[in-house]
Structure 1
Amino acid sequence: MSKKIEIMKAATSLFANKGFKETSMSEVAAMTGAAGSTIFYHFKTKEDIFLAVLKNIKDEILLEFETYISRHQFSNGLEMLESTVSFYLNLASARREPFMLLHHRFPYDLAVVNSTCREHLEAIYVCFIDLFERAIRLGQEDGSIVQTSARKSAMIIFAMIDGLVRFNTFNLYEAGTLYDELLGLCRRMLQTNHSEK
């Protein structure tokens, strides 16, 4: 593994667990065994490291979702929606640190003044919402999902799911125990009366 990748992995862990402001470059150096000058050779500022970490998270999450969708067949849009909900929850559980980082306030504060940060965050959230919207539109075409605003419904579903993920992120409640209720709410919200599921 290259030193640059090691630095990014260490920074991801520190930013996710401690936050941006509370993370020092000396901690990143200590975790990687790199000299401070090595870190600043690869990244000019702590903000540059953060942006590289955020881009990496974006690229990995987008790839994982696209790979998942391309490898699965769905009998209808409602099944695709339920499967995508499950995948999101599993991914957030398996990749805890990237989601912890996304739940910190700093990325959104930085996005106000840094267009690159804003672009990365938008790409991540647009990916999530687009996948739910794609499933809803498919369901509307095949009759398994009611006719409603697909985009707005996708945003509401994403907000519900991400809210549960935040319960886990902040160790407030084991969100997995609400899985059946979450799927039930999604069905009641979107399922047509004649749908089989």
Structure 2
Amino acid sequence: MSTQSGGLVTKKAKILKSAAKLFAEKGFNDTSTCEVAEAAGVAHGTVFYHFKSKEGLLSAMYESLIDEYMTGLKSVSAFAENGLKGVESMLFFHSVFADKYRSEFTVMHRDMPSFLCEKTCGWYKKMTDNSKKSISIIADAIRRGQADGSISNELEPETSALTLKALLTGMTRMKYLSMVDTAYDFKGAAEFCLSALRNREE
């Protein structure tokens, strides 16, 4: 998660990073806010000053992560030379971003689902809204590719984007929950996706 200058922001970011590491190692339920404070080198009360509760820590972690992710997703697609290259850039951005925030992604994929069952928390709407936004960004790149001839016009953009999003989510979940070898060939998986999108009539 990116930080800004200033003591308060730096301290808040340090707490978030320490929490992510501990949550990933021990699990959200088995980590205390005292442990987070100790790891971050701050007073216990400082954690509650910034985040109010342990659940607030998790919420802030998610918000910070998703904001940076969405910004990066849009950026790499916008600077690509065509729609297909835009999709390719997003696939590799996802892989690099997930590796950079390995602890956070582990927590999101392992500990967040339980919160989706609690309707009062608002997690379900928050996460589904952001999923829809990321699918829309991918779909826009596919439409761009169809317009510039790099992606097949036989594909339905929204359906194709949803499929890519599901594949990325599934592969990331399997990787960080140790369901598959972490050294899996992401480049090969990305080429599989691009091959399915590529316009054969070029």
Shorter chain as denominator, the TM-score bin is: 0.7 to 0.9
Q: Contact 1:58/1:123 (CA < 8 Å) preserved in 2?
A: no
The question of 1:44 aligning with 2:52 is answered yes
Q: Contact 2:76/2:86 (CA < 8 Å) preserved in 1?
A: no
- Which letter maps to 1:29? A
The question of 1:111 aligning with 2:116 is answered yes
- Superposed displacement of residue 123, structure 1: 4.3
- Superposed displacement of residue 175, structure 1: 4.8
Deviations 1:127-149 (A, max 9, x none): 43222211211122223222322
**What residue is the counterpart of 1:169 in the other structure?**
176
**What residue is the counterpart of 2:164 in the other structure?**
157
- Superposed displacement of residue 13, structure 1: 2.1
Give the alignment of 1:78-93 within 5 angstroms.
78-93=84-99
Deviations 1:14-48 (A, max 9, x none): 22333221221111111122232222233322112
The correspondence for 1:143, drawn from 149, 156, 164, is: 149
**What residue is the counterpart of 2:191 in the other structure?**
184
**What residue is the counterpart of 2:62 in the other structure?**
54
**What residue is the counterpart of 2:15 in the other structure?**
7
Q: Contact 2:80/2:89 (CA < 8 Å) preserved in 1?
A: no
Two-structure CA RMSD over aligned residues (Å): 2.3
**What residue is the counterpart of 1:102 in the other structure?**
108
TM-score by length of 1: 0.82
- Superposed displacement of residue 79, structure 1: 1.9
Alignment size in residue pairs = 191
Once residues 40 and 187 of structure 1 are traced to their aligned partners in structure 2, the CA distance between those partners, rounded to angstroms, is 46
Query: In structure 2, do the counterparts of structure 1 residues 94 and 49 end up closer, same or farther at CA, with 3 Å as the change threshold?
Result: closer
TM-score by length of 2: 0.81
- Which letter maps to 2:172? V
Which deviates more from structure 2 when the two are superposed, residues 143-152 or residues 115-124?
Answer: 115-124
- Which letter maps to 1:154? A
Q: Gaps (5+ residues) in structure 1?
A: none
- Which letter maps to 1:82? E
Once residues 123 and 16 of structure 1 are traced to their aligned partners in structure 2, the CA distance between those partners, rounded to angstroms, is 25
The question of 1:68 aligning with 2:70 is answered no
Q: Gaps (5+ residues) in structure 2?
A: 1-6
Which deviates more from structure 2 when the two are superposed, residues 169-178 or residues 45-54?
Answer: 169-178
Query: In structure 2, do the counterparts of structure 1 residues 13 and 116 end up closer, same or farther at CA, with 3 Å as the change threshold?
Result: farther
